[in-house]
Structure 1
Amino acid sequence: MRRLRMGMIGGGPGSFIGPVHRIAAELDREIELVAGVFSSDAGRSRAAGESYRIDPARAYSDLPAMLAAEKARGDGIDFVTIVSPNHHHLPAARAALEAGIPVMSDKPATATLAEAKELAGIVRRAGLPYALTYTYSGYPLVREARARIAAGALGVIRKVVVEYPQGWLSGAAEGKQAEWRVDPARAGEGGCIGDIGVHAFQLAEFVTGLRVTELLADLGTVVPGRLLDDDCSVLLRFENGARGVLLASQIEVGELNGLRIRAYGDKGGLVWRQEEPNTLTLHSLDGGTEIVRAGTVLLGPDAAARTRTPGGHPEGYLEAFANLYRDFAGLLRGAPAPLLPGIEDGLRGMAFIATAVAASRDRAGWVPFDI
Structure 2
Amino acid sequence: EVRIVQVEYAQDWLADPAERGGANRQAVWRTDPALAGPAGCLGDIGTHAYQLAAFVSALVPEALAAEVHTFVPGRRVDDHVQAMLRYANGARGMLWASQVASGAENALRLRVYGTKASLAFDQEEPNLLWFTPQGGEAQRLTRGRVTGAAARHATRVPPGHPEGYLEAFAQLYRDAAAQIMAREAGEPAPSASRLLTTVDDGVEGLRFIEAVLASSAAGGAWRSIVRPRLAIRMN
Compute the TM-score of the two structures, normalised by the length of structure 2: 0.89
Look up the SS of the partner of 1:276 in the other structure: coil
Quote the Cα distance in structure 2 between the aligned partners of 1:301 and 1:239. 30
| Aligned 8 A contact 2:85 2:95 in 1 | yes
Deviations 1:183-212 (A, max 9, x none): 001111100000000000001110000121
Q: Which amino acid aligns with 2:111?
A: R
Q: How far off is 1:273 after superposition?
A: 0.4
Quote the Cα distance in structure 1 between the aligned partners of 2:105 and 2:159. 25
- Name which of 117, 121, 124 aligns with 1:275: 124
| Aligned 8 A contact 2:67 2:220 in 1 | no
Q: Aligned pairs, how many?
A: 215
| Aligned 8 A contact 2:112 2:120 in 1 | yes
| Aligned 8 A contact 1:294 1:307 in 2 | yes
Residue 186 of structure 2 is aligned to residue 312 of structure 1: no
- Name which of 200, 206, 210 aligns with 1:350: 206
What root-mean-square deviation, in Å, do the aligned CA atoms of Structure 1 and Structure 2 show? 1.0
Quote the Cα distance in structure 1 between the aligned partners of 2:5 and 2:198. 23
Q: Which amino acid aligns with 1:190?
A: A
Deviations 1:154-197 (A, max 9, x none): xx000000010000000112311111110001111100000000
Q: How far off is 1:239 after superposition?
A: 2.1
Quote the Cα distance in structure 2 between the aligned partners of 1:349 and 1:162. 15
For residues 27-46 of structure 1, the aligned pairs below 5 Å read none
Deviations 1:93-144 (A, max 9, x none): xxxxxxxxxxxxxxxxxxxxxxxxxxxxxxxxxxxxxxxxxxxxxxxxxxxx
Greater per-residue helix proportion: 1
Match of 1:322? 170
Look up the SS of the partner of 2:126 in the other structure: strand
The structure whose Rg is larger is 1
Look up the SS of the partner of 1:354 in the other structure: helix
Q: Which amino acid aligns with 2:175?
A: D
Unpaired stretches in structure 2, ≥5 consecutive residues: 183-188, 228-235
| Aligned 8 A contact 1:236 1:244 in 2 | yes
Quote the Cα distance in structure 1 between the aligned partners of 2:54 and 2:87. 9
Q: Which amino acid aligns with 1:259?
A: L
Quote the Cα distance in structure 2 between the aligned partners of 1:194 and 1:340. 21
Compute the TM-score of the two structures, normalised by the length of structure 1: 0.57
Q: Which amino acid aligns with 2:116?
A: K
- Name which of 103, 113, 132 aligns with 1:254: 103
Look up the SS of the partner of 1:225 in the other structure: coil
Q: How far off is 1:286 after superposition?
A: 2.4
Q: How far off is 1:364 after superposition?
A: 4.8
Q: How far off is 1:355 after superposition?
A: 1.3
Match of 1:4? none
| Aligned 8 A contact 1:201 1:349 in 2 | yes
- Name which of 57, 60, 64 aligns with 1:211: 60
Choose between structure 1 and 2 for higher RCO, CA contacts under 8 A separated by at least 6 residues: 2
| Aligned 8 A contact 2:84 2:94 in 1 | yes
Unpaired stretches in structure 1, ≥5 consecutive residues: 1-155
- Name which of 37, 40, 43 aligns with 1:191: 40
